[in-house]
């Protein structure tokens, strides 16, 4: 049987994985709300974000409690600190899914995404879901190789983000300014979603290897 400290740490890890499942569902449903102009799905994503925030608070409280009661050092300490940072990033991924849902709600009953870019948004959703699934697996297994795959998947997200911007800036954008503004924000939300998955992956690399540095030295932001 594991000692009390590691049992608690396992529980924190489980909660982080649960958070990744929640944000995976959130980004999937937000994309549905967006592409189908579905108001009730949008509302449910927005409401469900409170649950993600709540689990994050639980993780934070459990971590602080663990630090206070067990006073871990070395790797054990680093794992607790890392868990808090990861919780912050995953919670933020939930916020970004909520933002996507809010654009869908704001534009309802119109759609926020012109038909000719819907396919790219679908592709971004798929990458986002893959990222979040791998993030959950990487947390559960403290797997550096999975973490490195996350960076590669995020390169795909960045590429899709660039495709959206190239479409917007091609000089042939025919859907008007409001649509351009919404698409700029939406694309940025998916791209940031990916960045936070990479941030979690970086943390796992740090945890396992003990050295800073990012698994993706490439394009971190589009800006």
Binding footprint of a copy of itself on the chain (CB under 8 A): 57, 63-64, 67-68, 71, 73-74, 77-78, 81, 84-85, 88, 95, 98-100, 102-103, 165, 168-169, 171, 173, 177-178, 180-181, 184-185, 188-189, 212, 221, 223
32 and 103 Cβ atoms separated by less than 8 Å: no
Q: Counting Cβ atoms within 10 Å, is residue 195 exposed (0-12), middle (13-18) or buried (19+)?
A: buried
CA distances from 63 to 30, 53, 82, 200 (A): 30, 15, 10, 17
Residue (145 or 170) nearer to a copy of itself, CB: 170
Buried b (16+ CB within 10 A) or exposed e, 96-126: bbbbbbbbbbebbeebbbbeebeebbebbbb
Least distance in Å: CB of 2 to a copy of itself? 22
Least distance in Å: CB of 76 to a copy of itself? 10
Q: How far apart are CA 170 and CA 2, in angstroms?
A: 59
Least distance in Å: CB of 75 to a copy of itself? 11
Residue (115 or 212) nearer to a copy of itself, CB: 212
Residue (119 or 178) nearer to a copy of itself, CB: 178
Least distance in Å: CB of 166 to a copy of itself? 11
User: What stretch of H or E contains 145?
Assistant: helix 144-168
Residue (85 or 140) nearer to a copy of itself, CB: 85
């Amino acid at each position: 049987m594991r000692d009390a400290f590691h049992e608690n740490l396992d529980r924190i890890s489980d909660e982080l994985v649960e958070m990744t499942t929640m944000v995976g569902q959130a980004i999937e449903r937000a994309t549905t709300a967006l592409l189908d102009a579905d108001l009730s799905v949008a509302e449910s994503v927005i409401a469900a974000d409170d649950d993600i925030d709540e689990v994050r608070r639980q993780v934070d409280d459990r971590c602080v409690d663990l630090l206070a009661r067990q006073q871990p050092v070395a790797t054990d300490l680093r794992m607790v600190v890392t868990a808090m940072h990861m919780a912050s990033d995953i919670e933020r991924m939930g916020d970004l899914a909520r933002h996507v849902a809010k654009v869908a709600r704001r534009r309802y009953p119109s759609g926020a995404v012109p038909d000719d870019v819907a396919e790219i948004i679908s592709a971004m959703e798929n990458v986002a879901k893959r990222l979040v699934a791998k993030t959950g697996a990487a947390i559960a297994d403290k797997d550096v190789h999975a973490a490195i795959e996350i960076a590669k998947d995020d390169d795909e997200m960045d590429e899709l983000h660039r495709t959206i911007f190239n479409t917007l800036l091609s000089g042939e954008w025919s859907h008007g300014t409001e649509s351009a503004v919404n698409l700029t924000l939406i694309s940025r939300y998916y791209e940031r979603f990916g960045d936070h998955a990479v941030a979690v992956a970086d943390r796992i690399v740090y945890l396992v290897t003990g050295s800073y540095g990012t698994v993706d030295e490439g394009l971190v932001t589009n800006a």
